[in-house]
Amino acid sequence: MFYLQLRNELWKLFGKKRTYIGFFMFLFAQNVIALVFRFTQASRPMERMLEMSGHLAEPFISVLTIATIMLVPAAAFLLPLYVALVGGDLVAKEAEDGTLRMILSRPVSRFRLLVVKWVAGCIFSLLLVLALGVFGLAFSRLYFPWGGMFVWLPENGIFGVFEAQTGLVRYVAGHLMLVTEAASIMCLALLFSCFNVKPAAATILALSLIFVSFIMEHIPYFKDYQNWFFTYHLHLWQFMFADRIPWWRIGQSLSLLIGFNATFLAIGMASFHMRDIKS
Amino acid sequence: MKVTGPSELSFAEGASSRSNRLIELRGVTKRFRGRLAVDDLTLEVPAGEIYGLLGHNGAGKSTAIGMMLGQVWPTRGEVRVCGHDVMLRRTLALRQVGAIFESPAFYDYLSGWRNLEILSHYTAPTSRQRLQEVIDWVGLTGRERSAVRTYSHGMRARLALAQALLPEPTLLILDEPGDGLDPEGIHEMRETILRLHRELGLTILLSSHLLNEVEQLCTQIGVIRKGRKVFEGPTAHALQSRNWLRITVPDFAAADRFLRQEGLIDESRDGRCVAMSEGISSEAIIRRLVEGGFRVSEVARDEQTLEDFYLSVMRQ
């Protein structure tokens, strides 16, 4: 039964055109970024940085390096937008369209319904991150050769130079961790979607909270309190590109994200359970 | 008004199964942010009946139905469906319940077949054979693979019926199912409800504004006003609750006063009808009118329609 209900939820989700906006935008954005890198001098500062650190630049101006550069802004700005859009729709859109009332005339518990929707949202998040990773590699490969990986993420003090093989492993691991960011933002939007609000309001509320957390995290005077900010823990995927992976930091953020997600789901569940569903 | 054949049949059947009530509301109250929507409502739908739930817009009918389906939480009181408390055992209570709402909503971008699969799987796994059976029964064969956005209003109504029938229900809850249908659609809906009752033996709760339909279909009615029940009983009883007599005399107002003074009538309406007091025959009224010097040119029994009854209950 759970499998059938999950399958139904995925049919509903992937039957809608708006679900694919994220996939198309990644396709577009990554293609454009790769083109700009290929046909401009945009990679020159990177080459200088590599040479100053004693590396030959050419082997590192590669598929993996360009794909990782493209990943950073996409993960910071585009990914939260698309997962929040889908998470905000999951309950609120059904309530708005009236289909939620049709579902809840059936002997299915609200708890079960929400769990099914959450799992479907997580699957979407996984697929979107997968698309981000695959498109990144595919479009970079069109214009750049295979080779080593160079990553510079100054905010977290990450300066990584890897062989192609190790770089690919780090790239895959980074995306696996990025799924936690996508799923957490989706879960936050799902929480707001459980309230009696329009789908757009749920999405905007979730994104607003993300932005507020991001702003607070970046106020220099709040540096001592960074651990309290949701977005601080969302960046854990970046540590997969560190020379030495700080597993303690990843473990800490992962456990906190699990806590955040459980809290979002519990509040959403309580709100959804108490709500009167009317036409 | 004449109760149609199937209704008479089911009324007789209903009388023998009173102990088996599929819907029971006991002292149910619902407040929305302080506004009273349903007030101490007690209501019973016996098995085998077609029960009409009547009331103005905002009277509390849809809220009552929402509480029966576990979509709206009562502030106070108990709601039982198929013998189970809806608040405590919702999944058990709704296992054999189908529901149709006014303007039924579907996933318009998916096919009718896919919509039925999605909705039925919230009850139990449903075989393709069962899906096809129900599609054939409601007359959607050949269009089940088309996207719902291409369906006409009538086809959507049929799809709504199909989704309600998929869990093989014993109880069907219809909330304003005729809303937006043209006369042909309303006729089809009426025939379908009678067919469901006759062929599948379903108990049906019908909330509707179409009093003529309710009069033709329902064996029991309940009338709600401002969240409170103001009448509940057999439709036939509602229609015979007053013995109305249409009399034609030159001065109806004088005749009305005279008959009231004589204690023969309780009330009058429309400037031509009088309600005979209990135990008073039409012969007695004619005799007294003639003895009183009134020139009576016509006397006929005025059969009350459900609309008359409904309006009289609402005016009380």
**CA of A7 to nearest chain B CA: how many angstroms apart?**
9
Cβ separation of A277 and B104 shorter than 8 Å? no
Domain locations along chain B: 1-96+213-239, 243-315
Q: How far apart are the first and last CA of chain B?
A: 22
**CA of B120 to nearest chain A CA: how many angstroms apart?**
8
Q: Is it the case that residue B173 has pLDDT exceeding 80?
A: yes
Residues of B in contact with A279 (CB under 8 A): 62, 101-102
**Contact, B197 vs B9, CB < 8 A?**
no
Of B62, B90, B167, the CB nearest to A279: B62
pLDDT digits (tens, 9 = 90+) for B193-213: 898 888 888 999 999 888 888
B86: chain A residues, CB-CB within 8 Å: none
Q: Do B104 and A102 touch (CB under 8 A)?
A: yes
User: pLDDT band at B4, cuts 50/70/90?
Assistant: very low
The boundaries of the domain holding residue A79 are: 2-273
Phi, psi of B262 (to 5 degrees): -80, -10
Nearest of B50, B60, B300, B58 to residue B195 by alpha carbon: B50
* pLDDT in 10s for each residue of chain A, 279 residues: 888 999 999 999 999 999 999 999 999 999 999 999 888 888 888 888 888 888 787 888 889 999 999 999 999 899 999 999 999 999 999 999 999 999 999 999 999 999 999 999 999 999 999 999 999 999 999 989 998 898 888 888 888 888 999 999 999 999 999 999 999 999 999 999 999 999 999 999 999 999 999 999 989 999 889 889 999 999 999 999 998 999 999 999 999 999 999 999 999 999 999 999 886
Question: Is residue B174 pLDDT above 80, yes or no?
Answer: yes
Cβ–Cβ below 8 Å for B118 and A277: no
- Please check whether residue A24 lies inside any domain of the structure: yes
Q: Which residues of A fall within a CB distance of 8 Å from B125? A: 1, 4
Alpha-carbon distance B299 to nearest alpha carbon in chain A (angstroms): 49
Flag if A101 and B105 touch (Cβ within 8 Å). yes
Residue B237's pLDDT is what?
Answer: 78
Q: What angle do CA A98, B165, B161 make, to 5 degrees?
A: 50
Please list every residue in chain A whose beta carbon sits closer than 8 Å to the beta carbon of residue B91: 107-109
Tell me if B73 and A276 make a contact (CB, 8 A cut-off). yes
Contact A98 B62 (CB under 8 A): no
Residues of B in contact with A18 (CB under 8 A): none
- Chain A residues bordering chain B (beta-carbon distance below 8 Å): 1, 4-5, 8, 11-12, 15-17, 97-99, 101-109, 113, 274, 276-279
Count of structural domains within chain A: 1
Whether the CB-CB separation of B221 and B237 falls below 8 Å is answered with no
CATH 3.90.226.10 assigned to domain B1-96+213-239? The reply is no
Cβ of A276 within 8 Å of Cβ of B92? The answer is no
Q: What is the pLDDT of residues B260-289, one digit of tens each?
A: 988 888 888 778 888 888 888 888 888 888
Residue A70 resides in a domain = yes
Distances (CA, A) of A219 to A152, A212, A213, A214, B243: 22, 11, 10, 9, 83
DSSP state of A78: I
Query: Token pair for residue B155?
Result: 């086809």
Q: CATH fold of B243-315, please?
A: Alpha-Beta Plaits (3.30.70)
Chain A environment of B70 (Cβ under 8 Å): 104
The full DSSP string for B241-267 is SSEEEEEE-S-HHHHHHHHHHTT-EEE
What pLDDT score does A51 carry? 84
| CA–CA dist B158, A54 (Å, integer) | 74
Q: Do A105 and B99 touch (CB under 8 A)?
A: yes
Q: Residue B224: CB partners within 8 Å, gap ≥ 6?
A: B38, B41, B53, B54, B55, B59, B60, B61, B64, B230
Write B179-185 long-range contacts (CB < 8 A, 24+).
Answer: B179/B102, B179/B103, B179/B209, B180/B102, B180/B103, B180/B153, B181/B153, B181/B154, B181/B157, B182/B153, B185/B153, B185/B154, B185/B157
Angle formed at CA B118 by CA B114 and CA B120, multiple of 5 degrees: 115
| Test the A interface: residue of B61, B85, B118 with most A CBs within 10 Å | B118
Q: Which residues of B touch A (CB under 8 A)?
A: 32, 62-63, 66, 69-73, 90-95, 97-99, 101-107, 109-110, 114, 117-119, 121-125, 163, 167, 173
Over residues B54-76, the pLDDT tens digits come to 988 888 899 999 999 999 999 99
CB contact under 8 A, B71 and A104: yes
CB contact under 8 A, B119 and A109: no
In a domain, A216, yes or no: yes
Check residue B241 and give its pLDDT.
59
A108 and B173 in contact by Cβ < 8 A? no
A to B CB pairs, distance under 8 Å: 90
Residue A218, min C-alpha distance to chain B (Å)? 41
Mutant choice from A19, A106, A276 vs B, greatest count of B C-beta within 10 A: A106
- The answer to whether residue A266 sits within a structural domain is yes
Domains B1-96+213-239 and B243-315 share a fold: no
Among candidates A8, A16, A276 on the partner chain, residue whose Cβ is nearest the Cβ of B117: A8
Judged against a pLDDT cut of 80, whether residue B6 lies above it is answered with: no
